[in-house]
Chains A and B, each alone.
Chain A
Amino acid sequence: MKNRTFILVLSFIIVWSIGPLCWQLYTSFSTPDALINPTIEFTKRWTFDNYKLVLSANPPFWRYLVNSLIVGIISTLITLFIAIPASYSLSKANKIISRISNYYLFGAALFPYVLLFLALLEFARRYNLGNNLLALCIPYSALSMPLAILILTSSFRQIPIEIEEAARIEGLNLIQRLRLILVPLMLPSISSTAILIFLFSWNEYPISLTWISNENLLTLPVAISRIAGSSVYSIPYGAFAAATVVGSIPLLLIVLIFQKQIVSGLMQGAVKG
């Protein structure tokens, strides 16, 4: 009985999360008519035109993929580079400091960042940061920072203190301890944090929309919204779907690559006999 409920809940969750993806895939291969007219014959519903449209656009679609990849990877690296030392020191802070900083970080993580985009736009104008992919990484990493620090702090706390002390006695200085002991031990949580940060910058729309106007520098979400033929009067659902499918492929690849780190139980059996 227990087993059956488990399977039921599990299949619901699977349908819930895979369903939209399948729908998207179906839309991307359908003719525009097929989407609105259910009576069309099964054999006449399918087409590659959506993909042809997306991939033959000018500038080519892969350019947006590359733009988004550059922004995603660089903002992830910046975030981790700052968040790892920050969370290390927060994990060592005393109770009062860590509680106060936790409140701030939670507040910042939960803050609706869309409210910031006007101010950020002003910031970009003032410092001439518009139409620059690297500059776009600054707000992205800043916005991902609170969540990254929260996650990494708690995983630093989970590493038994004795492991670091043993490393100190072995003669490792702070940088060596972080590089050779702590970061390797935290790889699972670091890679899942990295994916969260990457996802945020991959999906981000309002800031990218306002900071970037040069057609060659658009990131994926903005580029998709400008796909040929989209206007107030017509929405090319098929082309949108095709663009989203192409846009998700890099994400899928990244998750597949990091899968081992995400699920591995590296800390298992670390200290106790």
Chain B
Amino acid sequence: MTLQVNNISRCINRNWIIKDMSFEVSNGECLALLGPSGCGKSTTLRLIAGLDSPNQGSIFIDNTDITNISPVDRNIGMVFQSYALFPHLNVLENLKLGLKVRGNKQTEIEERVNRILSIMQMSHLVKRRPNELSGGQKQRLALARAMLRQPNVYLLDEPMSNLDAQLREELRPELRDFIISGSKPVVYVTHDQQEAMSMSNKIAVMNEGEIQQIGTAKDLYNRPNSLFVASFIGRPQINTLSIKNNVITAIRPEHIYFNSEGLDCKLSHIEWLGNYQLLFIESKYGLIKMMCSAEQERPEKIKISWNKEREHDFDKKTGKRLNNI
């Protein structure tokens, strides 16, 4: 199975929510759509699912055009941000409903539901309603419901955002085992770059309805092609300095080091964060963040510098990359 999205656009009330977007996700690959809220990442997912239809462009699964096919016939497994479980049905009925309306045989339904229940370790919960399940159990039920029909493509819309930080970390390997390392294309929407980096093979950074850059996490971090990607990927945020005219020079806090022949600076304050410390340094180019090991000694007179090859130069007007590394 391959999911292909070709030049899709979506427009609501003359606002372009998605502009000319293309990407491809092949079998067993997980593409994360990453971007600030309102950038159109959920809309993209809805277009693939068939809940909305694109104004332009086409969507293919395995070379079949599904652009104008109803969501019923697309055979897509989707996990919603809110899980969207059916609140009046218990776990068993939630799972059976989709198979039943598709006309599967009773014995086959039983068999498939029981298999998924044991994989998800939910067999003891079958009689519970969604409001009697914990956050993690709800998420597993939503995953189970998506997997049950053996869909061609998985779409995950911020599947972790309703869980607390600890549970999220616990459930990540589970989600990876069940869906992401499977043999189907997966599109994973998130606004959490850490989640995107840890769950996916490829990341598409989106802003204002457009894909800014698609690449591996490493690519995006090391070779951002625009100022937006550079400042969106990587925490603490990249330093942006105007050293030359019409050029913004960006340099990551972790690439700055003390150097007695470097730039003259003054220490403003320090955030000590256990495994590292974040130094806020005032220079003639403005405030610079510097990240270094928590044990690092600070010299009396603060002078900093960085390697020229760690520098990213962007055009001040367009935000596009100027230098090549």
The chain A residues found within 8 Å of chain B, CB to CB, are: 160, 162-163, 165-173, 176, 180-181, 184-185, 266-273
Q: Which of B280-309 contact A (CB under 8 A)?
A: none
- Inter-chain contact A171/B98, CB cutoff 8 Å: yes
- Inter-chain contact A172/B131, CB cutoff 8 Å: no
Which residues on the B side are within 8 Å of A169 (C-beta)? 49, 51, 71-72, 76-78
Which residues on the B side are within 8 Å of A181 (C-beta)? 86, 88
Which residues on the A side are within 8 Å of B102 (C-beta)? 171
Q: How many A-B residue pairs have CB under 8 A?
A: 83
The chain B residues found within 8 Å of chain A, CB to CB, are: 46, 49, 51, 70-72, 76-78, 80-88, 97-98, 101-102, 130-131, 135, 138-139, 145, 149, 162-163
Q: Kindly report which residue of chain B lies nearest to residue A181, judged by CB atoms.
A: B86
CB A177 to nearest CB in B, in angstroms, measures 10
- Inter-chain contact A269/B87, CB cutoff 8 Å: yes
User: A160-B82, A272-B82 known; A171 and B72 CB under 8 Å?
Assistant: yes
Which residues on the A side are within 8 Å of B131 (C-beta)? 268-270
Which residues on the B side are within 8 Å of A160 (C-beta)? 82, 84
A180 to B72, CA, bound (A): 16
A266 to B130, CA, bound (A): 11
CB B14 to nearest CB in A, in angstroms, measures 15
A86 to B51, CA, bound (A): 22
CB B148 to nearest CB in A, in angstroms, measures 9
Which residues on the B side are within 8 Å of A180 (C-beta)? 97, 101
Give 13 pairs: A residue, B residue, CB < 8 Å, sorted on A.
Answer: A162-B80, A162-B82, A162-B84, A163-B86, A167-B86, A169-B51, A169-B71, A176-B101, A181-B86, A185-B88, A266-B88, A269-B130, A272-B82
Which residues on the A side are within 8 Å of B162 (C-beta)? 272-273
Which residues on the A side are within 8 Å of B76 (C-beta)? 169
Which residues on the A side are within 8 Å of B149 (C-beta)? 170-171
Given contacts A165-B46, A165-B49, A270-B85, 13 further A-B contacts (CB under 8 A): A166-B86, A167-B97, A169-B49, A169-B72, A169-B78, A170-B97, A170-B101, A170-B145, A170-B149, A173-B101, A269-B130, A270-B130, A271-B85
CB B300 to nearest CB in A, in angstroms, measures 52
User: A272-B162, A273-B138 known; A266 and B87 CB under 8 Å?
Assistant: yes
**Max chain B C-beta neighbours (<10 A), residue from A167, A268, A272, A273:** A273
A215 to B127, CA, bound (A): 54
9 closest Cβ contacts across the A-B interface? A269-B131, A170-B98, A166-B84, A271-B82, A273-B135, A270-B87, A162-B84, A273-B162, A184-B88
- Inter-chain contact B84/A271, CB cutoff 8 Å: yes
**Max chain B C-beta neighbours (<10 A), residue from A163, A169, A172, A273:** A169
- Inter-chain contact A172/B97, CB cutoff 8 Å: yes
- Inter-chain contact A267/B97, CB cutoff 8 Å: no
Q: Kindly report which residue of chain A lies nearest to residue B97, judged by CB atoms.
A: A170
Which residues on the B side are within 8 Å of A171 (C-beta)? 72, 98, 101-102, 149
Which residues on the A side are within 8 Å of B70 (C-beta)? 168
Q: Kindly report which residue of chain A lies nearest to residue B148, judged by CB atoms.
A: A170
User: A172-B97, A173-B72 known; A185 and B51 CB under 8 Å?
Assistant: no
From A163, A176, A267, contact of B84 by CB (8 A): A163
A28 to B81, CA, bound (A): 60
A172 to B77, CA, bound (A): 14
Q: Kindly report which residue of chain B lies nearest to residue A183, judged by CB atoms.
A: B88
Q: Kindly report which residue of chain A lies nearest to residue B142, judged by CB atoms.
A: A166
Which residues on the A side are within 8 Å of B86 (C-beta)? 163, 166-167, 181
A169 to B97, CA, bound (A): 11
CB B22 to nearest CB in A, in angstroms, measures 24
Q: Kindly report which residue of chain A lies nearest to residue B87, judged by CB atoms.
A: A270
Which residues on the A side are within 8 Å of B163 (C-beta)? 273
- Inter-chain contact A168/B72, CB cutoff 8 Å: yes
